[in-house]
Structure formats: C-alpha cells, structure tokens
Amino acid sequence: MAADVTLAAPIASSAQPSSFAEFWASFRENKGAVAGLVVLSLIVLTAIFADVLAPHSPLEQFRDAVKLPPAWYEGGNWAFPLGTDALGRDMLSRIMHGARYSLFIGLSVMAVSIVCGVGLGLLAAFSGGWLDTAISRVMDLIVAIPSLVLAILIIAILQNPSLEKTIVAVTVVSLPRYVRLVRASALSEMGKDYVTAAKVAGVASLRLMLRTVLPNCLAPVIVQAALGVSDAILEAAALGFLGLGAQPPTPEWGAMVGDGREFIRSEPWIVTLPGLAILVTVISINLFGDGLRDALDPKLKRS
Amino acid sequence: MSDAILEAKDLRRDYEVRRGFFGGTGIVKALASVSFTLRAGKTLAVVGESGSGKSTLGRLVTMIEEPSGGSLFIDGIDLATATPQERKRLRKEVQIIFQNPYGSLNPRQTIGAALEEPLIVNTDLSGKDRVSEARAMLARVGLRPEHYNRYPHMFSGGQRQRIAIARALMTRPRILVLDEPVSALDVSIRAQVLNLLDVLQQEFELAYLFISHDLSVVKHIADEVMVIYLGSAVELGASATIFAEPRHPYTRALLSATPVADPAAKKERIILKGELPSPFAPPSGCSFHPRCPLVIPRCKEAFPPTEIIEGREVACYRARDAVAVPAG
C-alpha cells in the first residue's frame, strides 16, 4: 500500500506532496482518529438528511403508543425502532433531529469563539501594555468562575432561555481558551527573526498581524477548535438538561434527557438513548481532535 | 570622505530591566558610546565577544529599536528628527540578515511570496512586475527558478541564507546589516555565501555592517574593523592596520586567540582572566581594566578618551606605549 503511493507519486507529478496529503498520511496512522472521523461523518450526514431519514416527525405525538420500549424488547413495535417518549413521540426521529441542534450549537460556538478569540488574542499580543493586561485579566476572570455557573448566570441576565442564548453563553465561557492560546503563540512567534525581518522590510502592523504572524499560530487553534466543539455540545446539553437551553418541544438532546429523567426507573430508554447520542458524538469528536493534534503538531510528529 | 551613507555619533542604548518582583528596575547599558561611519561599497566589521552589544548595534542601525542617546544619520538625515515619510524611505535603505537561517524565514510563506512582500508594501508595482523582479533576484543569489514556489523547510541552511539575502535586497537597500551571517553555516558553505556577499556588494554598491566574532572571516571580508567591549568601541581602524598591529590590549588578546593554519608559526597567546563583567554594574573607568594585563591606576578612574594613533582610533591610556603584553 505504502509502496504504491511512493512509486506513483513521482510519476503523477514532480511537485512536492501537498500539505494536505502529508497531513492525511499522518492522520490515518491513528486508527482511533479515523474511527472518530467515520462516526462523526455519519452523525453529520444524519443531521443533514434528518428530514428524509427519520421515520416520523420529531414533534408528532402518537397518543396510542406512549412510552413504547425499543422494538427488540417485549411490547416494542418496529414502527418505532427506538421506542417512544412520554408524549408518544418517536425517539429515533427525535434523536436524528437532535443531532442538528447539537452540531449547530457546537459549530456556531466554535466559529464565534475562533473569530473573537483570534481577534482578542492577536490584539492583546500586539498592543501590549494596558490593553493586553485588560484582555488577559478579563479572561482570567471568566476562567475563575465555574463554567456552568457562569453560563447559567449569562442565561439569567439575558432572560428567556433559547437556543441562541445558549450559544452566546457557551461562547463566552469557552472564549478564554482561544484568547490565551492565540496570545501565547503570537507572542512566541513575534520574537522570531522572520517577524523582525518583515518589520524591517516595512510591513505594517495589520499585515504583520494577519499575514505574517497569524498563519503560524493557527495549528494549535484548529486543534483547540475541534476539541472545543465537543465541550460546547456538552455545555449546551447541560444547560438543556437544566431547562435553560433549548425549550420544549425542540428535540435537543440535553433537554430530552432532562424531560425523561422522571422515567429513569420505569422507562430507562427515554433518558438513556439521547444520553448515548451525546456520548457517541463527543467521543468521536474528541478522537478526531486528538488525531488532528497528532497530525498537525510538529512537536508530536514522529520523524 | 563624501560617500558616507550612515553616520553614528555616540550611539547609546540602555535597557530597563526589572530585577525580581520587588527589585525595582536596573539599567543595562547594552551600548555605551559608539561612533562610526559606513561608506558605500565598503564593509565595517564589528567584533566583540557575546554580550558586548554587537547585535544591539545592528538593531539600532536597522531602526528596530530607538537609540537611548546619540544620533544616527542615514543619507545625511538625522533619524531622531526625520518626518514619517523620510523614515519610511530610509527604512528601505537599511536591511538585515540574521544569524540563524532557520528562524529568519516565515515557515508558512513560499519563497516567492517572501521575496514579493517587500515590494507589495513598499512599491506599487503590478503583480507581474513583482514576480519578474523576485525571479530575477532569486537567480541573482544563485537559486533556481523552480525554488520560487517552495517553502523554507525544503531548503538547506546555505540556501536559506541566500533566500534571506535575496529578500533583504528586494527593496534595493544601500546598507546591509549582517548579524553573524555565516556563523550558523557549515564551513564548506561559508565561503560560498561570503563570496556571494562580496559580488553583491560590488554590484549594488552596498555598505555592509558585518557583525561577527569570527576573526578569520572578518579579516577576509572587512575594509574596516571596530572592536567593541562591553558596549564601548575600544579600537576602530582599517582592517589591515588593526590586524597587523593592534594597539588596544583587548584587540591584541582577541587576535592572539585566532587560530593560524601554520604549525611552524610561533605565537604569543594572551589569555584574559575572568569573565565579561555584568553590564548592570560596569567597572569604573575603562570597562576593560579588571581583565587588562597592562592596567595602571589611571584606568580605574576615567574612561580613556579616543585618540587617533597611527591611522586608527583607540581608547586606551597605554596605546602609545609600545609595551609587550605579558603572556598568561
């Protein structure tokens, strides 16, 4: 397999192997990461095609089939493969649609955190002085408060919990990691000779910040972002469980666990299945993120 | 001489350093007082041991840092009073080559992009002209056209140093600060890079400020030599004069430490005692007196004035006395 590749490459093109090919070769060595990527892809596809794949509407209540167990148990019905919840809604359809919400929260938190985190981190590193101190201390302050408590506090300040407000709260909570990471790597890059050389060549601050320094800080940020998605999903699920996230009847996984918790002894699948969905998603993202780190971080790379 | 393009007068640079949390600030005199002139097409070598202020001098000349005192004239314009437009123009005139070719190139930038960047920010050339200029410069420093789209990690140290030289020349500077440009290179590559620098100097009429601690390289390339010790120039003069007959005891000690490729040559070795003193607390008077083999009581009282003796500037009370330096 490896021999084919090395033989074919020089014939196909004399150019250097692209950075993506290099990344992929290093990534696929990690079996766990590839498994994570596969599972994650399945979840993403499920989320995208939930309307087509789901057997029922996630909101439709089947009054004659309330609290049905999964189909392979006694009393189950193959019309509802994973059973139904307390209101007779199909669990499978709700979990499939729930993937949309969880991934949407995870990705939007990640996107907003990256943009804000990179901006604030670079600003702190480049300005120095009081602005740097101000940004760094505010981030320390956010870290000092337990994240779930702070998220609840933000929801309380914004009033009327909803999916959007969950995103805002989780973003604020996860921001310090990005800001610190970007600031630290920007500061270490700025001490290097190529930045001085660019300054001497007359490169002005904005270009220096975005074109010279930023690309060299991005690898750890990408890894952090991948792992940050899973943290955001967990955080949002916790808020949903407490009733401070997505509101009923939205099929958000955390809220589903919260709604079903009174049936944990009698009808455990109502709680277990959405919880399992959260678990699988988070694990696959973490495996993928670990593989990403191994492949992108030159310090961990085997030679 | 009329073709002086850079003049430094009593250049000084202090750093404020916090010593511990409660220690207050201390002042490090990285560069105490240095004056010199750079001329087009000529090389001034700055020699001295680690911590003597050589690299600080390079940073001042390239306008990366502001001097704490003294004045710096580039092209007859005093940098301290220059308008922002003048500074922008003068900044293009001085470029720098660093010691470590592995840190001086942006790892995420292709060679072509690195060469074009100075043109993008300093000129309004079209994209096509920039590419052709960059390719011409690449060929000029002895690299091949297919190197244009490659990244720095694909090159050896010598090739990277050539790229750094090409990048520095893109703005058509007249002064090049070479901060130990060949110290990190393999000996077999050194001569190639030095010869390239020599050819480029003649072609572009460049003035070199060549910072080095390698005296054999300095002897090969320099027209003038300035020896600095703990931030002060102790001897400055034509390379041939200084190498033939050093007057300052520190210069003598430095030269006696240079290996000579002749086993028959008998050499007196002057071995200095002690270490370079801390720049936090420089010695009184002449900063060299604690280690000087020729020390006299006067040396501890005041820094010796710079005198011109036999065609070189030297700051030593005993420079006129043709005394033999006791070995050991």
**Within a domain: residue A48?**
yes
The closest CB to that of B121, out of A192, A204, A216, belongs to A204
- Nearest chain B residue to A193 by CA: give it: B104
Rounded to an integer, the average pLDDT of A205-220 is 88
- Nearest chain A residue to B87 by CA: give it: A202
Residue of B117, B148, B172, B209 to mutate, interface with A, max A Cβ within 10 Å: B117
Measure CA of the first residue to CA of the last residue in chain A; give whole Å. 20
Considering only residues B197 and B55, tell me which one the structure prediction assigns the higher pLDDT.
B197
In the structure, what pLDDT confidence band is assigned to residue A5 with cuts at 50, 70 and 90?
A: very low
Q: Structure tokens of A219? A: 């690898």
The DSSP H or E segment spanning A215 is helix A214-241
**Within a domain: residue A303?**
no
Residue B1's pLDDT is 47
Q: Which residues constitute the domain of residue A290?
A: 28-296
**Within a domain: residue A266?**
yes
Cβ-Cβ contacts under 8 Å for B190 (sequence gap 6 or more): B182, B217
Residue A295's pLDDT is 83
**How many Å separate Cα A65 from the centre of its chain?**
35
Residue A9's pLDDT is 39
Residue B236's pLDDT is 92
**B 244-303 residues with CB < 8 A to A:** none
**Within a domain: residue A284?**
yes
Residues of A in contact with B121 (CB under 8 A): 201-204, 207
Residues of A in contact with B104 (CB under 8 A): 193-194, 197
Smallest CA–CA distance, residue A143 to chain B, in Å, is: 25
**Within a domain: residue A302?**
no
Smallest CA–CA distance, residue A201 to chain B, in Å, is: 5
On average, the pLDDT of chain A sits at 87
**How many Å separate Cα B33 from the centre of its chain?**
15
In the structure, what pLDDT confidence band is assigned to residue B326 with cuts at 50, 70 and 90?
A: low
A249: preceding bond cis by omega (within 30 degrees):
yes
Calculated CA dihedral for residues A68, A72, A77, A78, nearest 10 degrees: 130
pLDDT exceeds 70 at position A182 = yes
Residue B246's pLDDT is 87
Task: For chains A and B, count residue pairs whose Cβ atoms are closer than 8 Å.
Answer: 59
Give whole-number Cα distances, B276 to A255, A280, B49, B211, B287, in Å: 70, 63, 8, 18, 9
**CA-to-CA distance for B184 and B99, rounded, in angstroms?**
6
pLDDT tens string B222-232 = 999 999 988 88
Residues of B in contact with A197 (CB under 8 A): 96, 98, 104, 164, 167-168
Count of domains forming chain A = 1
pLDDT exceeds 60 at position A73 = yes
**Within a domain: residue A301?**
no
Phi and psi at residue A158, to the nearest 5°? -75, -20
pLDDT tens string A63-72 = 888 888 888 8
Cβ-Cβ contacts under 8 Å for A133 (sequence gap 6 or more): none
The closest CB to that of B121, out of A196, A197, A203, belongs to A203
**Within a domain: residue A15?**
no
In the structure, what pLDDT confidence band is assigned to residue B94 with cuts at 50, 70 and 90?
A: very high
Residues of B in contact with A204 (CB under 8 A): 121
B178 touches B211 (CB < 8 A) = yes
The DSSP H or E segment spanning A132 is helix A129-144
- Nearest chain B residue to A201 by CA: give it: B118
Q: Quote the percentage of chain B above a pLDDT of 90.
A: 31
State the alpha helices, DSSP H only, in B35-83: 54-61
Rounded to an integer, the average pLDDT of B291-309 is 85
pLDDT tens string B215-262 = 888 988 899 999 998 888 899 999 988 888 888 888 888 888 877 767
Residue of B56, B63, B86, B106 to mutate, interface with A, max A Cβ within 10 Å: B106
**CA-to-CA distance for B62 and B47, rounded, in angstroms?**
18
Residue B43's pLDDT is 94
Q: Picking from A153-157, A217-221, A229-233, B91-95, which range would have the lowest pLDDT averaged per residue?
A: A217-221
- Exposure string for B312-325, b = 16+ CB within 10 A, e = fewer: bbbbbbbbeeeeeb
Smallest CA–CA distance, residue A16 to chain B, in Å, is: 8
pLDDT exceeds 60 at position A3 = no
Choose among B7, B8, B27, B3: nearest CA to B17: B27
Domains and their CATH numbers in chain B:
4-108+151-314 (3.40.50.300)
**CA-to-CA distance for B296 and B142, rounded, in angstroms?**
53
Q: What is the pTM of this model?
A: 0.81
CB contact under 8 A, A200 and B64: yes
CB contact under 8 A, A212 and B106: yes
Q: What is the ipTM, given to two decimal places?
A: 0.83
B72 touches B10 (CB < 8 A) = no
Smallest CA–CA distance, residue A1 to chain B, in Å, is: 26
**Within a domain: residue A9?**
no
Decide if B98 touches A, using CB distance below 8 A.
yes
In the structure, what pLDDT confidence band is assigned to residue B282 with cuts at 50, 70 and 90?
A: confident
In the structure, what pLDDT confidence band is assigned to residue A109 with cuts at 50, 70 and 90?
A: very high
